[in-house]
Copies of this chain bind each other. A is one copy, B any other.
Amino acid sequence: MPATPGAAPPLVDQHCHSVVASELSSSAFASLLTESDRPPAPGATPWDGALGLAVRRWCAPELDLPAFASPEAYLERRRELGAAEATRRLLRRSGLAACLVDTGLTEAAGVPLLTPDELGGLAGADVHEIVRIERVAELATPGTTAAGWSDAVRSALRRATRHAVGLKSVIAYRHGLDFDPARPSAAETTRAAGEYLDEGGGRLRHPVLLRQLLWEALELGLPLQLHTGFGDPDLTLHRTDPSLLTDFVRAAEPLGTPLVLLHGWPYHRQAAWLAQAFPTVHCDLGLALGHVGTGARRVLAETLELAPFHKLLFSTDAYGLPELYRVGAAAFTDALDSWLAEAVPVPAEAARIAGLIGGGNAQKLYKLPAVDSVSR
């Protein structure tokens, strides 16, 4: 993927969600600037954090405002332009050649998300699908029996992934990464499915079924993304340390299925070691780079202490707001450029490494069609 002179190498966003293109209230907009799902403390606003500053830094100029315009001025200008135009500008300026969209979420702050095709159209990017396995299993559950649960889920996974390039698990939320790495026996699974069905199915949190589902997913051979590290208050941080996955990584290694550790923060160094130690393991910094603002340079540099260049992948983990695409892409590009300037003072080498991390690794891992350079 050689860089065309004068053009930025195409970015492949290997893990993202769709956005809302209709108007959002000020409070709905703000609620998408924090991982908290609680109302803010009295007098506080989610704008007052590193991500809020990053939106003001990188996005205000796209809406013709000076950098660091106030939140009020930003939202006013956004309404003036119209949400659709603001969304188009922000997505287009993110410089994405392709997006791998996790289709497991369909709304944000109560408002429906764009379809993946609509998203791709506005972004000017190819769109590919990542299937969230817990959601597939939940949808496949009604009408099954305990003994038939595994087969039903396996069939549903095959159907759901016919056009997908990868899978994703949120076992970090549903249980934590400290699960028993062994594949459950058929008898265990049936017993667990019975317990789950007796409770009416629904949100899948049964540890045995979550494990069984992971093992079914591994057999499909598609890259399996795993949420690790921080997220919303549903998770318990120390139970999302990717190092807790080590025995699972070992058990899964003979299958050869690629594993992609998402986010990682504040355990991104642990993810980097796993990516160096095990050929099947890859990592990204999706949710982290956008959220940490100017800290992105440090977080990326800490990851590159040990992560091999062919194992780290760019993503934004954007969700709900097109601003998160722009911020995620800008934070990544700025942080990587800063690291390369110090670590790789040879332009051609720096461009090669930037190409791998920015998109080349994803293109190869997910077997994507070739993408062209994009002008940003």
Chain A residues close to B by CB (< 8 Å): 34-36, 38-41, 43-44, 46, 48-50, 53, 68, 230, 232-233, 236-238, 241, 243-244, 246-247, 250, 265-266, 269-270, 273-274, 276-280, 291-295, 298-299, 301-302, 304-311, 339, 342-346, 349, 353, 356, 364
Contacts and interface: CB of A to CB of B under 8 A. Distances in A.
B279 A39 contact: yes
Contact of A278 (B50, B68, B233, B279): B233
Contacts of A274: 237
Given A278-B36, A305-B292, A236 B230 contact: no
Contacts of A353: 48
What is the oligomeric copy number?
3
Contacts of A41: 279-280, 310-311
A38 B266 contact: no
B233 A238 contact: no
Contact of A43 (B266, B298, B339, B364): B364
A68 B36 contact: no
A306 B49 contact: yes
B246 A308 contact: no
A68 B340 CA distance: 13
A346 B236 contact: no
A241 B342 CA distance: 30
A208 B345 CA distance: 51
Given A46-B308, A50-B305, A246 B236 contact: yes
A2 to B, nearest CB: 16
Nearest to A36: B277
Contact of A343 (B50, B230, B269, B356): B50
A304 B296 CA distance: 11
A347 to B, nearest CB: 11
Given A236-B246, A247-B236, A265-B269, A291 B305 contact: yes
B310 A276 contact: no
A301 B308 CA distance: 23
B279 A291 contact: no
A44 B41 CA distance: 48
A18 B306 CA distance: 23
Contacts of A34: 276, 308
A302 B295 CA distance: 7
Contacts of A344: 53, 68
Contacts of A294: 301, 339, 342-343
A279 B40 contact: yes
A31 to B, nearest CB: 13
A298 B297 CA distance: 12
Contact of A292 (B46, B306, B339): B306
A298 B307 CA distance: 16
The 8 A-B pairs with the shortest beta carbon distances in the complex, nearest first, are A292-B305, A266-B269, A295-B305, A233-B277, A238-B243, A237-B243, A48-B309, A44-B310
A34 B276 CA distance: 7
19 contacts: A34-B308, A35-B273, A35-B277, A36-B277, A40-B279, A41-B310, A43-B310, A49-B276, A50-B305, A50-B306, A68-B344, A236-B243, A237-B270, A265-B305, A291-B305, A291-B306, A294-B339, A295-B305, A298-B305
A295 B299 CA distance: 11
Contact of A309 (B38, B49, B307): B49
A302 B310 CA distance: 27
Given A273-B237, A310-B44, A310-B48, A346 B68 contact: yes
Contacts of A364: 43
